[in-house]
Structure formats: C-alpha cells, structure tokens
Amino acid sequence: MNSTPSTPTPLDTTARLVNRHMRFGWWSLAVFVGLGITLETLHGFKIVWYLGVSSETRRLMWTLAHSHGTLLSVLQIVFALTVPKLSAKTISSQIRASMCLLGAGLLMPLGFFLGGLFCYSGDPGIGILLVPPGGILLLIGVTSIAWCVDSDFR
Amino acid sequence: MQDLELALYFIVIIGTTALLWSIARRARKTARLLLILPLSGIVGAFFWYPPDADIQLLKQEVPAVGRSEFASSDACRQCHIGHYESWHRSYHRTMTQLATKDSVRAPFDGRSLESNGSTCKVDRNGEWFFVQMKDPEGSSQDATTGSSQVNLPVVVNLPVVMTTGSHHLQAYWVPSQHGNKVRLFPWVYHIDSDRWIPNGDSFILPPEYSRLPPDSKQYGQVWNNNCIVCHSVAGDVGYESGNWQSRVAELGISCEACHGPGAAHVSHHQNPLTRYTQRISGSADPTIVNPARLSPRKSSETCGQCHVAFDEKVPTEYNKYRAGGEYESAFHLADNHNPDDVRFWRDGTMRVGGREFSGMKESACYLKGEMSCLSCHSMHASEPNKQMRKDIHDDQACLQCHQELSDDISKHTHHAVQSEGSRCYNCHMPYTSYALFTAIRSHRVDSPSVANSLASGKPVACNQCHVDQSLGWTADYMEKWYGTTRPELDDEQRDVAASILWLLRGDAVQRSLAAWSLGWEPARIASDEGWQVPFLAQLLDDPYSVTRFIAQRSLENLGVKLKEYDSLVSPDERALIAPSLQQGTYPAHAEAAHAKAGGLKPLFDEQGGLNREALQRFLKQRDDRPITLNE
C-alpha cells in the first residue's frame, strides 16, 4: 500500500498543537512543582549552598526558575485548551504562537536555573543570557494568541 | 566547572532550537526566523567573562579560607540573620578584607608617596589596585643590565590583595613569591585625616625609625605569621621550608572567633526537628559557645584571645585557643609588672590600646566582682564604634553594681551631677593608653592616685581634665575629699601644672597623652583655653612623629590652623614653627594663675609671656629612652 505524504489539514494541526502543549505543559508542571519542593527542602535543612550569603543570587535565580517554569507550564495547558476554540483561518499564527510558547517555556526557566547553578558572587552564570530571548519569544507568542483570539471572537 | 556550565548552556540552546525547528518545518518560512532568538545565545557566549574572575584571582594570592571544624559566617546567617547583620556592620568583620573597590578606603589615584629618599606609587586599574615599590622580597640587581653584581633595588609593580582595618587606619598587603605569604605595603592610610602616612610614622617608634625610608626592611612585616593570630579566625601559619601555605577559617573576626567552631553545631541543627526541640527547651546549646552564658572570666577570656598583650619574647603559639576553652595554657601573656616592658605603666596598667583585657584583669571589679567585657560592651546590641551596650548609658554600667552611689552621685564625685567630672569612667577609666594616633581609655578600673602616678608615671585622671593644675593641687583635694594620704612632692610637682610636666619631661607616651589631653574638650572647658598653645607648639618639633601628629591635632582643636606645618616634614623645617607660636602673651591666664596660685604660675611671667627658662629646663629633663608601641 502506497503512503504518500499528505498536507496536514487544519484539524490535524489543531490536534497536534493540543497534544503537544498538553503533554509539554503537564510534564513541565511536574518538573517545576518538583523543583519547588526541592527548594523548600533546601530551606528546611538549611543548606549553605542555597541559603548562604554568597548564594543569594542562586536563591533568587532558582526562585525565578520555579515561578516562571510553573506559570509557563500552566500557560501551555491554557494554550492547549484555547486552540480548539480558534478557527482555521488563524492556523499559521497558532503555529507561531506554539513555537514561541515552547521556546519561552524552555529558555526562561532553564536560563534562570542555569544562571543560579553557576553563580559568581552577586552575578548569575552565563545561563541568564537565555532569559531575554525567552522573554521575547513569550511576548511574541502571547501577542500571537491574542491576535488569533481577537480575530475569531470579534 | 566553567566547561560544564558552557556545555549545559549549549545543550539548552541546541535542544530548544531543534524542537522549534521540528515545528517550523511545517510552518511558513517566516516562522523559521524565530529560530534566531534561541541561537542568539551562542553569540552571547563569545562575550561571556565570569563577573567575579578578579575576586578569584585575589583569593589565590592570600591565605586560604576554610577549615574543617569551622562553618563560616555564611552558614551562621541562615538561622541568625539579626546577629549576622549586627556583626556585618562591625569593624571586626572588616579587619581583614580582600582588596576590592568596596573595601579599599584610600585614594589609589596615581600619586607618588615620597619619604626619606624612597618613592612609592599607588594606582588603580579598573577593579585592581596597584602599588609601585621596592621589591619587598629584597631581591636586588642592576636595573639596567639585570646583573646581580650591583645592589640596586628592583622596583616592582604589585597588586594590592588584602586590607587591614577600616575604622581609623587602613593598611595594604601585597603578594610574594613564597606561597600565599603577603607583605605590608610601607604606607598606611589615615582615614580620619584623609592622608597617607609612612608605616614607621604610624606607630610610636624611636626617631631613628622615622629617618629610614618607609620601604626599608625594618618594616617588612608579614601578615601570615603576625597579624593572622588576631585579624582572622583560627589562623594556621602553615610555614615550611620557605614556603607559606597559610590557612584561616575566615578573614576578619567573625562569628566563630567568639562562638567557637560551628561545623558540628550546623550539622546538628540541619534537622528541622532538632532545631525546634532546642528552641522550645530554652536551655543552653551544647554544640556552640555563647559568651553571654559563660562565667565573667570565661566570657572575658574570649575577648582576651586578641585584646591582650602577649609576651613578645616567646613565639606566639597560634591556633590553640577556642572560645570558652582553656585560656592560660593557650597563650604566653605579657607580665604586666615587668619593669622592662614599656607597654605597661610601672603599676602594671596597660598603656597600649587594643589590649584591654590586660588592663581589665588587673581590676578589682574583675578580680573580686562580676565584671566582664559584656558588662559594658555588646557585639550585637550596639553601634559599631566602640560597641557600647545600647541598654546601658553613661554611669549605668558602673551603677549596675555600685548602686549605693546612684542616689547622690555628686556626693561621691564632688562635681555637678551632669558634668564630665561626675562620669565614673573619666576618673576610674581615664585616657592613659595610646593607640592609633589618639588616647584610649584605660580598662584597668582603679581610682586616681597622686602617689601611684609618682611611682608609675601614669597620668592622674584629675590632671587630664584640670590640665592647668599641679599634682599638689590634686593631692590637696584627694586628701580633703577622700582622706587620701598626701605623698611627698618636690617643688615642681607641687607647683607646676602636671600636664605640662608630662608634656615636656615625660617619655614619648606621656608626651603624646598629655598633648591629647590639652586638646580634649572637657579639659578645655575645665581649664580654659588658649594658654596651651606655646606648650603644644613645642611638641611640633618632638622627636616622635606620632607625638607631633597629636600635638598638631590638639592645636587645631584650639583653633590654631597650621597650614604650613606637617608632622612628617624634616626636623629643620618643623623647628621653624614652634618659635612663632611661642611669641604671644596670655595675660588673662597668667593673671588667673597668679591670683589663685594655679599650676600655670611658674610657666608665665606677670605679663603673660612664656617663661622660657622653665620651658628649657623641663625640656632638658625629657625622658628620651626609646619606646616602641606597635599599635
């Protein structure tokens, strides 16, 4: 039986987006909730490497990694729930938004985490350089979704 | 470590880019432009330079930090934030620091520092502080050919790696080629007067030292085997066969200097249940020392591990004492009653500041009572300057025990209640110690005694305020008020202002303290001001640099501006200043002195002119024995 690649229909694309962001969102949420529990444990056992004066930057970076990771995970799930309600005419913007949200969901929390993993006195490590591109991706992604929603619900 | 950091960084970039590419393949081509964003991180990596690279380099040049039984102040902060913050404000913390833009107080602005034919230079390059000086390792070679045949000193540029002090003086340390040994830069910075001073002029040292170039070997102090004992926590010299691998628990004086090693305490309390059980019980924690819970003696010994005079003839055994532990066997302390030790007055009272425990341990309040350092001082509930307890003001420190005097203190002091003459410590802890260009209160609590002053040379508190009065005058009042037996006095002791006798006839410490007293505000109020000028002017040409410096400051307190004078100038130049300040007349003071037969009477004629014959006679009697006080 010959199987020739066929152009995906808008319905296929929507299903794929929902599938991708549901899976990414929930797994990501699990990881960052786990990070939150780890940070609380470090507090409870007074680990110098996390709570010492010279670790203030690490504490801030990892707190930011935890909060951004958790919120961006929730945002992925919200996006997955939003996509089925959008029409096919905005499908390219939805794909763009998907790319941006996934990029932001990786770059921002991992940037903060890496920045805290290797600290230099009052400054974070090189990982912090990943945060600005992640932030730009997040802005483009959210703007794209807003545009889609605005087009379809006007 | 940085390799791992970069590896993880690129993994995140490549992983994110790959994921986005898998989506972008099916999207419009313009969506692929978004890949630029994660890939931009690769460009950033080329410009990356670890922000604390300079600090890491400094750390390699100074004694290593960290010892196994010690946890560091960093660990203490996790639970004791308030105590950590009060310590962090203190000058104890900043006693020894890495030389960074936050710690260095002096201007490193490219200026040249010149003295006695030697020139040093101080400069800065970004985060780094540099000095140019004669090679402190003492190597010498022909600067032009590199040959070691000709003994010309090599001038080297060295980074400043460490600082000592941050309150009154700051000293700077440069690295050597022998492990982590650091050596003293020959100039110190006097913070109060905002000026550089040669190291040899910053201590009370015999005049011949002041005539040496500041970078001569006599001043080649090494931190690792000297300052390490008190200016760091648990210093280990680590010297072997010419190589120095010194190690400290922490630079500066931090938590574990007073509370003992904390690693076991930290480890024990990492379990939250253990912490809360300890808090609820309210009992003393056996895993850490709290000086406030120790006996007065043990508590004071904790401060006395540094604030004490060691026997200079016995090599100090470092690294034996731990807070609250065995004290006597850990140190070789100086004998307060050794008549050859110029650091003590002849009655055993300490006359150098910074060795307060040596004074206090001679006091009846300590020997017979409950007095400890913590009776007056607090390391955490106090202001950084002097660290006096906030909950105790003025006389309350003494009245905690001497309550019988509190109802009518003027009955005891014979001075008005609110006056300086009624402050317990002005009489019982007078300014009879010297340190860091100023007078310091004695920490031997005793009572003023003319007889003791005659025997020991120590100034009497009464005459440090009543600087215009003689010992005879003081003896009269002591007999009248307290029934003290009047000692035998010669004519000068009976008639001439005691402060002027100390100022002109005393040794370097007596002269310095007397010079300070003449400019002290309570003394100026009690004894009027103006008449002190010709006597202080005489000290502007004193052989001791520190004495000249103090005399200059006292003159400034009296309103005399000395724009042309510098205590560091050559003897020829400074000899010109005194005569000009001794020309004036002081008729009002002379009249008052003659009227009430005060201690100034023999020093001025009827018109108020200076009695030069008396002045010269006292100067010839000056005690010129060499004195060294390294503080």
Residue of B12, B34, B73 lying closest to A110 (CB–CB) = B12
Is A129 at the interface with chain B, CB within 8 A? Answer: yes
Give tens-digit pLDDT for A25-68: 999 999 999 999 999 999 998 888 898 877 888 999 999 999 99
* pLDDT on residue A47: 87
* pLDDT on residue B513: 97
pTM of the model: 0.83
Residue whose entry in the numeric block shows the structure tokens 């609590």: B445
pLDDT band at B615 (very low <50, low <70, confident <90, very high): very high
Q: In a mutagenesis test of the B interface, which of A49, A130, A142, A143 is the best target, namely the one with the most B β-carbons within 10 Å? A: A130
Size of interface A-B (CB pairs under 8 A): 122
d(C-alpha A144, C-alpha B602), whole Å: 98
pLDDT above 50 (res B142): no
Give tens-digit pLDDT for B129-139: 999 998 877 65
pLDDT above 80 (res B594): no
pLDDT above 90 (res B392): no
Is B50 at the interface with chain A, CB within 8 A? Answer: yes
Please give the residue that has the higher pLDDT: either B604 or B299. B299
* pLDDT on residue B597: 67
Give tens-digit pLDDT for B149-173: 445 568 889 999 999 999 999 999 9
Task: Tell me the mean pLDDT in the region B304-319.
Answer: 80
- On whether the CB atoms of residues A102 and A25 are closer than 8 A, the answer is no
Smallest CA–CA distance, residue A14 to chain B, in Å, is 13
- On whether the CB atoms of residues B110 and A83 are closer than 8 A, the answer is no
Q: Is A55 helix (H, G, I), strand (E, B) or coil?
A: helix
Is A107 at the interface with chain B, CB within 8 A? Answer: yes
Q: What is the 3-state secondary structure (H, E, C) of B230-295?
A: CCEECCECCEECCEECCEECEECCCHHHHHCCCHHHHHHCCCHHHHHHHHHHCCCCCCCCCHHHCC
**Closest chain B residue by Cα to residue A110:** B12
Highest mean pLDDT out of A140-144, B40-44, B217-221, B559-563: A140-144
Q: Does the distance separating the beta carbons of A122 and B51 come in below 8 Å?
A: yes
Any idea which of B67-71, B495-499, B562-566 has the lowest mean pLDDT? B562-566
pLDDT above 70 (res B11): yes
pLDDT above 80 (res B595): no
- On whether the CB atoms of residues A130 and B13 are closer than 8 A, the answer is yes
Q: What CA dihedral angle connects B244, B250, B253 and B255, to 10 degrees?
A: -150
Residue whose entry in the numeric block shows the structure tokens 């600087």: B467
* pLDDT on residue B433: 97
Q: What CA dihedral angle connects B542, B545, B551 and B553, to 10 degrees?
A: 160
Smallest CA–CA distance, residue B273 to chain A, in Å, is 10
Report CA-CA distances (Å) from A106 to A66, A119, B20, B27. 12, 20, 11, 20
pLDDT above 70 (res B145): no
Q: Does the distance separating the beta carbons of A45 and B272 come in below 8 Å?
A: yes
Angle subtended by helix axes A10-44 and A56-82, to nearest 10: 150
Is A81 at the interface with chain B, CB within 8 A? Answer: no
Give tens-digit pLDDT for B518-532: 999 999 999 988 899
Residues 6+ apart with CB under 8 A from B539: B503, B511, B515, B547, B548, B550, B551
**Closest chain B residue by Cα to residue A43:** B78
Q: Residue B382 — φ and ψ, nearest 5°?
A: -165, 165
User: What percent of chain B has a predicted confidence (pLDDT) above 70?
Assistant: 95
Give tens-digit pLDDT for B411-454: 999 999 989 999 999 999 999 999 999 999 999 999 999 999 99
Smallest CA–CA distance, residue B280 to chain A, in Å, is 17
Give tens-digit pLDDT for B444-462: 999 999 999 999 999 999 9
d(C-alpha A42, C-alpha B214), whole Å: 53
Any idea which of A116-125, B83-92, B436-445, B616-625 has the lowest mean pLDDT? A116-125
pLDDT above 70 (res B144): no
Residue whose entry in the numeric block shows the structure tokens 């307190």: B557
pLDDT band at A7 (very low <50, low <70, confident <90, very high): low
- On whether the CB atoms of residues B361 and B296 are closer than 8 A, the answer is no
Chain B hits for A122, Cβ within 8 Å? 51
Task: Tell me the mean pLDDT in the region B476-490.
Answer: 95
Q: Does the distance separating the beta carbons of B48 and A44 come in below 8 Å?
A: no
pLDDT band at B118 (very low <50, low <70, confident <90, very high): confident
* pLDDT on residue B148: 45
pLDDT above 80 (res B67): yes
Give kind and range of the element (H or E) at residue B28.
none
- On whether the CB atoms of residues A6 and A83 are closer than 8 A, the answer is no
Q: In a mutagenesis test of the B interface, which of A48, A50, A57, A98 is the best target, namely the one with the most B β-carbons within 10 Å? A: A48
Is B272 at the interface with chain A, CB within 8 A? Answer: yes
Q: How many CB atoms lie within 10 A of CB B502?
A: 27
* pLDDT on residue A9: 73
d(C-alpha B23, C-alpha A25), whole Å: 16
* pLDDT on residue B587: 76
Give tens-digit pLDDT for B208-224: 887 777 777 666 789 99
Average pLDDT score over chain B? 89
Q: Does the distance separating the beta carbons of A140 and B34 come in below 8 Å?
A: yes
Q: Residue B389 — φ and ψ, nearest 5°?
A: -60, 135
The structure tokens listed for B167 are 């309150």
d(C-alpha B459, C-alpha B347), whole Å: 12
Please give the residue that has the higher pLDDT: either B631 or B477. B477
* pLDDT on residue B149: 45
Smallest CA–CA distance, residue A121 to chain B, in Å, is 6
Q: Is B124 helix (H, G, I), strand (E, B) or coil?
A: strand
pLDDT band at B608 (very low <50, low <70, confident <90, very high): confident
pLDDT above 70 (res B510): yes
Give kind and range of the element (H or E) at residue B223.
none
Residue ranges of A 37-76 with Cβ closer than 8 A to chain B: 44-48, 51-55
Average pLDDT score over chain A? 91
Q: Does the distance separating the beta carbons of B41 and A106 come in below 8 Å?
A: no
Comparing CA positions, the residue from B523, B534, B568 lying closest to residue B548 is B568
DSSP B405: G
Instruction: Report the half-sphere exposure of B343 (CA within 13 A, side-chain side).
Output: 23
The structure tokens listed for B107 are 């201007």
Report CA-CA distances (Å) from B240 to B175, B223, B237, B313. 18, 16, 9, 22
* pLDDT on residue B151: 53
Give tens-digit pLDDT for B547-590: 999 999 999 999 998 877 888 888 888 888 878 777 777 777 77
Q: Does the distance separating the beta carbons of A136 and B271 come in below 8 Å?
A: no
* pLDDT on residue B315: 66
Dihedral sign (CA B515, B518, B521, B522): positive
Q: Is B163 helix (H, G, I), strand (E, B) or coil?
A: strand
**Closest chain B residue by Cα to residue A47:** B270
- DSSP letters, A64-123, are HHHHHHHHHHHHHHHHHHHGGGS-GGGHHHHHHHHHHHHHHHHHHHHHHHHHHHS-BTTB
